[in-house]
Chain A
Amino acid sequence: MVTGRYVAGRVAQYALVLLLALILNFIIPRVAPGDPLEGIVGESGALLPVEEQRAIITRLGLDQPLTVQFGRYARGLIQGDLGYSYNKGQPVREVIGDRLPFTLLLLGPAAVLSAVLGVMLGMRAAWRRGSATDIGLLGLVLGLDALPPFFLGTMLLVGFAVRLDLFPVVSSIPVGIGLLSLEGLGELVHRLALPFATLTLSGLGPYFLLTRSSMLGTLGEDHVLMARAKGCPAKQVVYRHGLRPALLPVATLFGLSMGFILGGSVVVETVFSYPGLGRLTYDAVLARDFPMLQGVFLVFTIAVIGANLLADLTHPLLDPRVRSAR
């Protein structure tokens, strides 16, 4: 099947991305200035007694040739070994496993909502091009886009948590929160609201701008003129003839912008002290905890690949040419 071949091509490319990420993770600490042990074990590694350093070097095989080291590294990864965080005193995989659900909980809905909002607003702006709505939205989005996410987050925090006292200043999630009860869910939403709003607002700009310009393109095409001439209702023209073909680049953007949204989550989780991967990254940066940073980078890479695959799968749905093309 043609769609199958299309998807296979994309998967091959993402395998290359993953390979590049692995190679970078392997090479970066080994070409870093200073003690190689420091790069692999973290800054605390250099503080250990000499015998213990030797023991770690032998155990990790750091005295072996690079090719042998890479083989060990790859074998470990396949078995799910992401290294050990001496800073946390725990395997990296365990720490990431604990934090990942929180980030997914915050990021997934925010990514989807910012895409939906951006597309809806962009569509409206394109349809009413040059109107007060269009210019107002354009100005608003350009302004929103210029706000660094951590600054937007801090301002929302100051306004709604510190001044108005509507939301908690620290968005940590209590361990015993009962998610099955209505009360527990309400509490969760209450605590997530501000970081969620920050991520959604700072993510929708690119969707708005791309949908707007992409739709301005399709609305100028002959098939739209034809649809209007034969008397299609305006709504149908906008959605079926204007928006659908305009969504192709938007779907690609969803995959590509996932990296930026993940980057945003690092700073936003830091501002709100939210116990996800982003805050973990910040702590790891402060502690120079390299194994942890590399583990997070790998997980983020896999997340971006997942989002890109999802975007690729929507392409045949949106564009019949992809379905029939060889």
Chain B
Amino acid sequence: MTPLVGSPPIIEDSELAATSARRGTAQAVFRLIRGSRPGLAGLFILTLFGLAAIAAPVLAPYDPKDQVAAPFSSPGGDHLLGTNDIGQDILSELIFGARISLGVALLVATLATILAGIVGLIAGYFHGWVASGVMRFVDVVLVLPFLPLMLVVATVFGPGVRTQILVIGLLLWARPARVVRAATLAVRTAGHIEAAVWMGATAPYILRRHVLPRITPVIIAEFVRAANIAILIEAALAFLGLGDPVAKSWGTMLHYAQARAAFLTGAWLYWVLPAGLCITAVVLGFALLGFALEQGSDPRLRKRGWLGTA
């Protein structure tokens, strides 16, 4: 976070983009979130799960890799959510699963956003056949059916967290790249940037100094959206059996529950429901955060009131 000199700026949300160019963008974005109830709720949910993931060894009653009781035990005194098909404590699995699910989502979103940022900035700032060629390629990638392609790649390269991060990250950048390019195009014609060009500033300097700060809110919003999609895709891949059997995510837990037909017995209540609800809650957290950012940065959607910035 950039240190703030002097008194904190009084930011009208309508001035978010302009202000963020000069003052800390992080603060501006945080103010936007703080001003919207959905945004606050999202932030709260994600903080909760983030803390659980960090404190997993302290919170979890057992090591999720240890067999601690008879398989398929119902919830009881020692095991609040019972045990799975090989006698591991489900509650501990759930808490450690937050590390894998959140970790994959954040790494993938980071990878995709960096790629998208580079491609979008270059394609938006420069004219000519390289830029249009890149965008044509982006459009082509956008049409490919993601999940089936990921299944082909992930199956060929073998299951595991590393494959997942690589595969999802390499396919998720296309949509954010479009958005970043559009934002760059809009900023490109601003007076002070034209002036910088005429004063002989180099392209990397202008991109870093003038363009990037202005479009950072857009990039942050796209990061949140990418994390939202990534966690769903990771869950789907893991559910289909492409997760890491040693480092189980929530999706991997659900894969084993499905494979052992937990939905037919009473086991769904403590084996399927908690993991599914965890995924849902985290996705909802990212979605609420994204919603708040989108509402705040699109002037057409901005309106004071319950959903807007109060």
Q: Which A residues contact B (CB, under 8 angstroms)? A: 13-14, 16-17, 20-21, 24-25, 28-29, 32-33, 39, 129-130, 135, 138, 142-143, 145-151, 154-155, 157-158, 162, 169, 213, 216-217, 220, 255-256, 258-260, 262-263, 266-267, 270-271, 281-282, 284-286, 288, 290, 293-294, 296-297, 300-301, 303-305, 308
Contact = CB atoms under 8 A, between A and B. Distances in A.
Nearest to A212: B301
A301 B142 CA distance: 11
Most chain-A Cβ atoms within 10 A of its Cβ — which of B149, B272, B301? B149
Nearest to A298: B148
B145 A300 contact: yes
A157 B258 CA distance: 12
Given A17-B144, A32-B156, 16 more contacts: A20-B144, A25-B152, A147-B280, A148-B236, A148-B251, A148-B283, A151-B279, A155-B272, A162-B263, A217-B301, A255-B143, A263-B146, A266-B147, A286-B241, A290-B152, A304-B143
A4 B205 CA distance: 44
A311 B8 CA distance: 48
Interface in B252-275: 254, 258, 263-264, 268, 272-273
Interface stretch (B25-33, B59-67, B68-76, B284-292): B284-292
Contact of A130 (B136, B281, B300, B306): B306
B91 interface: no
Contacts of B303: 129-130
B109 to A, nearest CB: 16
Contacts of A145: 283, 287
Nearest to A20: B140
Most chain-A Cβ atoms within 10 A of its Cβ — which of B142, B239, B241, B288? B239
B144 A154 contact: no
A267 B301 contact: no
A281 B152 CA distance: 10
Nearest to B231: A148
B308 to A, nearest CB: 9
B280 A130 contact: no
Contacts of B151: 266, 281, 285, 293, 297
A148 B284 CA distance: 11
Contacts of B294: 213
Nearest to B276: A151
Contacts of A296: 148
Interface of B: 38, 136, 139-149, 151-153, 155-158, 232-233, 235-236, 239-242, 251, 254, 258, 263-264, 268, 272-273, 276, 279-281, 283-284, 287-288, 291, 294, 298, 300-301, 303, 305-307
Nearest to A271: B258
B293 to A, nearest CB: 13
The 5 closest A-B CB pairs, nearest first, are A263-B147, A151-B276, A259-B145, A146-B283, A146-B284
Given A32-B157, A267-B240, A294 B152 contact: yes
B155 A288 contact: yes
Contacts of B38: 142
Given A13-B139, A151-B276, A28 B152 contact: yes
A13 B276 contact: no
A282 B239 CA distance: 10
A21 to B, nearest CB: 6
Nearest to B156: A32
A151 B144 contact: no
A260 B146 contact: yes
Contact of A256 (B143, B284, B305): B143
A150 B268 CA distance: 13
Nearest to A263: B147
B146 A259 contact: yes
Contacts of B306: 130, 135
Given A220-B300, A266-B148, A271-B258, A146 B287 contact: yes
Given A16-B140, A39-B156, A213 B264 contact: no
A130 B232 contact: no
Given A13-B136, A130-B306, A290-B156, A148 B235 contact: yes
A305 B298 CA distance: 31
Contacts of A290: 152, 155-156
A216 B157 CA distance: 45
Contacts of B263: 154, 157-158, 162
Most chain-B Cβ atoms within 10 A of its Cβ — which of A16, A20, A259, A304? A259
15 contacts: A14-B143, A20-B144, A24-B152, A32-B157, A145-B287, A147-B283, A148-B280, A150-B235, A151-B276, A151-B279, A162-B264, A281-B151, A290-B152, A293-B148, A296-B148
